[in-house]
Amino acid sequence: MHTFDTPWIKSTCAYCGVGCGIEAKALANGRIEVRGDASHPANLGKLCSKGLALGETVTNEGRLLTPKVNGEDCSWDSALTEVANGFLETIKQHGPDSVAFYLSGQLLTEDYYLANKLMKGFIGSANVDTNSRLCMSSSVAGHKRAFGTDTMPGCYQDLDHAELIVLVGSNLAWCHPVLFQRIKAAKAKYPQRKLVVIDPRRTASCHGADLHLAIKPGTDVMLFNGLLNYLAKQQLTDTAFIEANTQGFAQALTIAALDAPNIEHIAQVTGCSVADISAFYQLFGSTDKVVSLYSQGVNQSSQGTDKVNSIINCHLATGKIGREGACPFSITGQPNAMGGREVGGLANTLAAHLEFDSPEEHQLLSQFWQTKKLAAKPGLKAVEMFDAIRSGKIKAIWIMATNPVVSLPNSNKIKAALQNCPLVVVSDCIADTDTGRLAHVQLPAMGWAEKSGTVTNSERRISRQRRLTTSPGAARADWWIISEVAKKMGFKAAFSYRHEGEIFREHAKLTQLAHEHKQHDLDLSGLANISDAEYAEMAPQQWPVTQLQKEANTVQQRFFGDGKFFTPSTKAQFIAVHYLTSPQRLSSAYPLILNTGRIRDQWHTMTRTGLSPGLSSHQGEPLLLINPQDAQACSLSSEDIVQIDSPQGQAQMRVQINNDIKLGQLFAPIHWSDSNSSAGKVTRLTLDLTDAISGQPEMKQTPVSLKRCDFNSQALIVSRTPLNLSEFTYWVTQTITGGFHYTIASDLRADELNERLQRLCPRQQDIRIQAHIDDDSVYRFASSKAEKIQFAYSASQRLTLKHYDWFTLLLSQTTPQASLFLSLLSAQPQGDLAKGKIVCACKQVGATQLCSAIKQQEIKDVATLTQVTQAGSGCGSCVGELQQLITESQAELVTT
Ligand SMILES: Nc1nc2c(c(=O)[nH]1)N[C@H]1C(S)=C(S)[C@@H](COP(=O)(O)OP(=O)(O)OC[C@H]3O[C@@H](n4cnc5c(=O)[nH]c(N)nc54)[C@H](O)[C@@H]3O)O[C@H]1N2
Ligand SMILES: Nc1nc2c(c(=O)[nH]1)N[C@H]1C(S)=C(S)[C@@H](COP(=O)(O)OP(=O)(O)OC[C@H]3O[C@@H](n4cnc5c(=O)[nH]c(N)nc54)[C@H](O)[C@@H]3O)O[C@H]1N2
Ligand code: SF4
Ligand SMILES: [Mo]
């Protein structure tokens, strides 16, 4: 018999900035099997639920297969000509600043480099910005102010050595799970190590933390100014380091002392107790090896850059930088957020960390690219860029690998801007996205597993993403698409590449020249002359790279160990920062504050993770987390649908009452869009207010009001084929194994809804059954063909959703059809359906299974639960929820 055996190929995960190495293998059924790469220094073989499910998302479902102009399929040649001519014509009539590119940290370095080269170098405008503006730009600006360059000082091994880790505005357990597990492993080995979490919500990252400071949103600068003042007062600063290697300490301290004169004042502003604040300050002051790891709770703020510097100030004051286990650590979000920063994807930098304000650097780059048109001044940052589209200043935009109609704040405005823009070009792998719907030209891009190039992770480690499989339809690599458009625009000589390795070498060569010129941080000289074969085989390289490392190694490099920084004086800069309240104020009209962020198993706008039934099962509907007291005050119960209003727009979500949220605050995940829900998109609500220095929008503090939606009926539907349910007021789609799951709510009466839904049943079914159960007034319906359920629903005035977890499993069952029908009619899940909602995505263990194991075997700790059920033995990021189930069932025992 012919066996289909392909080798394991090393590549890098498609998702977060941890940059885990994977090994993948194509299977005979077209699927891809994925496992962690034990030799990769970022993860040493570990993967999280998203990484483990990578294979499931490699599917042709929903893919954009051909180029389209005005919705019609066309050849590559005509689509590329349309784009090139459209841009040329606009530039001819209105000048280079009338066009723009909006890029993404999900492009490969090679794609990113070329897009930047085309816009800044050859079109002659710096209107090229990226979704990193929404993500890392406050960190970039903070680094530049303090260090002179955008330099990440530390590396992942610092997490193994740190005696204290402070997570500031980072839900690492869900957003960078492999690093969180690494911290937990170190803590288990050395129990004296401490973990402090600073976050307005109690998150999964608080599981196992020694201290949680639930600060009021936006008060981080107050907390860290207080820490600086405390360190000085208690003489816990490193005066030798401050004197020899820094500038501006006195000024920063004066402001900090004015801002945060005593702990009582800090307690009042931050809402934390004096005892907790003192405990944190003492820990920071008395611990030698401290890593402060921060993310969007810091960056996405109207004061994001100041928040970053307030943290860095404390590290500089104590010399906790450049040493093993000690650094301020900006953890990046996207797989190639760092690569984008290297090539100059942001509008206010040139390329290879060369800057606009230096005529020599401008000349160096002009010569290297052999162009006379290099942009002379910074371009528009993301929010400004879309404002310029709206005002008509920008008339042509090319959006690549990002979905701004979902991810930029004030999405109604973004949508209106694109609707008015004469030319919108979108490169994406997926056909139907909120942004793609507004495109004149859609270009099908290769996705992860098809494309090839490099990405840089949070610790400056460059890894190869390799092609594992062929692309469906006419999809092409992003770099190829960009180079073809550039050639058609007349820049043939500068954009002729045989393959992506040539682009990479050019980028590395530029960093070498830049480094020779300014002796700065970014130096890839060791990769500037690698052969094609060496590029193909390239093992992970952490920069600076002065020599190609032939094999993956765990040698870690830090910056600033010698006390020298990249400022003109070579000294690090303290930045004096004042705590400011957000301009977004609460009022009687908008009395609650909406925080937004991520959930464990979804990635951004769900265009990829939404394809995985396993990942979607953790959370299937847009939800609003609310404190019990606020819920009561707004007359809301769990599972109500609520309308959320902000000064910018309206959304509707399902209420989840949750003690982890403080009074007056709310939390909503960012993942739902207009493509998968009627109104679950959070950026309908968020305001486009930005940090004055970085231009990063404040996404975590929107004032809103709530109103319960009283629908007359609700239904849950499963169908093998997609349904269009836009006629119903409230709807949410979810991918499940075997088909689709829908949740709807309607103003119709339940009996009317029942009638309407029956019409959606596909024709020519073998069996149709229906039932109306009087005592709970539920209408049930199911139809099957070839012994498989094709379509089923439950409809009622109100359904208790938590009793219907099993509904999402209906189409995946190997259970005999009779018992499926029985489950449906009786609403009592039979067989495998009885698993309940999936808690452990890796091992597919459900809540009902876990609860009954806990009860039957009287399990009191997570380790035993894992042993008994396997849940938590994969990536471990569900451990917090396992603990919660145990706690809840113990509470039930006490109260019953
Ligand atoms: N599962 C999953 N993982 C991801 C992603 C994903 O979509 N899904 N996306 C990736 C990307 S691009 C990014 S940028 C990262 C983001 O990773 P994180 O920044 O960890 O994620 P968020 O949930 O956006 O926000 C982090 C926390 O900031 C808190 N916060 C809000 N306001 C404040 C404040 O004023 N001060 C402080 N101290 N905290 C505050 C929020 O309550 C939230 O828990 O995740 C990456 N990893
Ligand atoms: N309210 C609120 N809004 C936020 C945030 C928040 O915390 N709160 N976080 C912000 C942050 S940190 C980020 S990073 C953004 C993320 O927001 P987006 O970048 O808009 O989110 P994605 O869904 O990752 O969009 C990537 C798109 O590129 C496509 N794609 C994937 N791979 C490729 C490829 O190789 N080539 C091409 N051409 N296309 C590809 C995907 O199908 C998808 O449509 O959201 C921001 N918006
Ligand atoms: S932590 Fe998870 S999502 Fe992030 S790179 Fe690793 S496997 Fe991928
Ligand atoms: Mo991000």
User: With a threshold of 0.75, does the pTM exceed it?
Assistant: yes
Domain identity same for 263 and 349: no
Domain identity same for 186 and 267: yes
Whether 600 is in the pocket of ligand 1, judged by its Cβ within 6 Å, is yes
Domain identity same for 795 and 690: no
Atom of ligand 3 nearest to the CA of 14: 8
Q: Residue 771: its pLDDT value, please?
A: 78
Phi and psi, residue 663, nearest 5°: -55, 135
Least confident of 269-278, 465-474, 732-741: 732-741
For residue 802, the 8-state DSSP code is: G
**Residue 769 CB coordination number (10 Å):** 13
Whether 16 is in the pocket of ligand 1, judged by its Cβ within 6 Å, is yes
Alpha carbon distance 94, 187 (integer Å) = 59
Residue at 495 is within a domain: yes
Residue at 776 is within a domain: yes
Range of the domain at 623: 592-708
Q: Residue 554: its pLDDT value, please?
A: 75
Q: What share of the chain is helix, strand, coil (3-state, %, to 5)?
A: 35, 20, 45
Higher per-residue pLDDT: 798 or 303 = 303
Number of domains in the chain: 6
Around ligand 2, the residues with Cβ closer than 6 Å are: 104, 106, 131, 134-135, 296, 300, 333-334, 400-404, 406-407, 427-430, 433, 445, 447, 451, 478, 596-597, 604-605, 607-608, 670, 682-683, 686, 699
Whether 15 is in the pocket of ligand 3, judged by its Cβ within 6 Å, is yes
Ligand 3 pocket test: pick from 13, 56, 463, 877 the residue with the most ligand atoms within 8 Å of its Cβ.
Answer: 13
CATH number of the domain enclosing 864: 1.10.10.1100
Domain identity same for 96 and 182: no
Nearest protein CA to atom 47 of ligand 1, as residue: 175
Ligand 4 center to 466 CA (angstroms):
23
Domain identity same for 296 and 445: no
pLDDT band at 891 (very low <50, low <70, confident <90, very high): low
pLDDT at 776 over 70: no
Residue at 796 is within a domain: yes
Q: 756: buried, middle or exposed (CB in 10 Å: 19+, 13-18, 0-12)? A: middle
Ligand 3 center to 678 CA (angstroms):
30
pLDDT at 875 over 50: yes
Q: Residue 615: its pLDDT value, please?
A: 65
**Residue 895 CB coordination number (10 Å):** 6
CATH number of the domain enclosing 696: 2.40.40.20
Give me the half-sphere count of Cα atoms (radius 13 Å) on the Cβ side of residue 37: 24
Residue at 755 is within a domain: yes
Mean pLDDT of the chain: 93
Domain identity same for 148 and 257: yes
pLDDT at 338 over 70: yes
Least confident of 217-231, 513-527, 840-854: 840-854
Atom of ligand 3 nearest to the CA of 49: 2
Ligand 3 center to 519 CA (angstroms):
33
Ligand 2 pocket test: pick from 441, 607, 683 the residue with the most ligand atoms within 8 Å of its Cβ.
Answer: 607
Least confident of 154-168, 241-255, 322-336, 775-789: 775-789
Residue at 577 is within a domain: no
Q: Residue 266: its pLDDT value, please?
A: 98
Digit-coded pLDDT (tens) for 545-564: 999 999 887 777 999 999 99
Domain identity same for 50 and 81: no
Q: Residue 242: its pLDDT value, please?
A: 98
Q: Residue 774: its pLDDT value, please?
A: 64
Domain boundary among the residues 708, 741, 757 is at 708
Ligand 2 center to 408 CA (angstroms):
10
Residue at 831 is within a domain: yes
Sheet holding 327-330, edge to edge: 211-213, 194-198, 164-168, 290-294, 327-330
Q: Residue 799: its pLDDT value, please?
A: 87
Phi and psi, residue 420, nearest 5°: -90, -5
Residue at 507 is within a domain: no
Digit-coded pLDDT (tens) for 172-191: 999 999 999 999 999 999 99
Domain identity same for 182 and 302: yes
CB-based contacts of 190, cutoff 8 Å, min separation 6: none
Ligand 3 center to 47 CA (angstroms):
6
Domain identity same for 52 and 109: no
pLDDT at 411 over 80: yes
Domain boundary among the residues 499, 521, 539 is at 499
| Secondary structure in 3-state letters for 149-173 | CCCCCCCCHHHHHCCEEEEECCCHH
CB-based contacts of 33, cutoff 8 Å, min separation 6: 24, 25, 27, 55
Ligand 3 center to 465 CA (angstroms):
14
Domain identity same for 256 and 296: yes
Whether 291 is in the pocket of ligand 3, judged by its Cβ within 6 Å, is no
Q: Residue 221: its pLDDT value, please?
A: 98
Q: Residue 835: its pLDDT value, please?
A: 75
Q: Residue 895: its pLDDT value, please?
A: 37
Q: What is the mean pLDDT of residues 35-43?
A: 96
Ligand 3 center to 334 CA (angstroms):
10
CATH number of the domain enclosing 25: 3.30.200.210
pLDDT band at 894 (very low <50, low <70, confident <90, very high): very low
Domain identity same for 827 and 842: no
Ligand 4 center to 566 CA (angstroms):
26
pLDDT band at 896 (very low <50, low <70, confident <90, very high): very low
pLDDT at 425 over 80: yes
Whether 17 is in the pocket of ligand 3, judged by its Cβ within 6 Å, is no
Whether 126 is in the pocket of ligand 1, judged by its Cβ within 6 Å, is no
Domain identity same for 178 and 274: yes
pLDDT at 698 over 80: yes
Q: What is the mean pLDDT of residues 856-863?
A: 90
Digit-coded pLDDT (tens) for 346-373: 999 999 999 999 999 999 999 999 999 9
Atom of ligand 2 nearest to the CA of 604: 23
CATH number of the domain enclosing 247: 3.40.228.10
Cβ–Cβ < 8 Å for 621, 741: no
Q: Tell me the β-bridge partners of 626.
A: 657, 666
Nearest protein CA to atom 6 of ligand 3, as residue: 20
Whether 263 is in the pocket of ligand 3, judged by its Cβ within 6 Å, is no
Beta strand pairing call for 211-213 and 194-198: parallel
Ligand 1 center to 669 CA (angstroms):
10
pLDDT at 132 over 90: yes
Among 634-643, 803-812, 845-854, top mean pLDDT goes to 634-643
Residue at 448 is within a domain: yes
Structure tokens at 224: 């860290």
Q: Residue 657: its pLDDT value, please?
A: 93
CATH number of the domain enclosing 429: 3.40.50.740
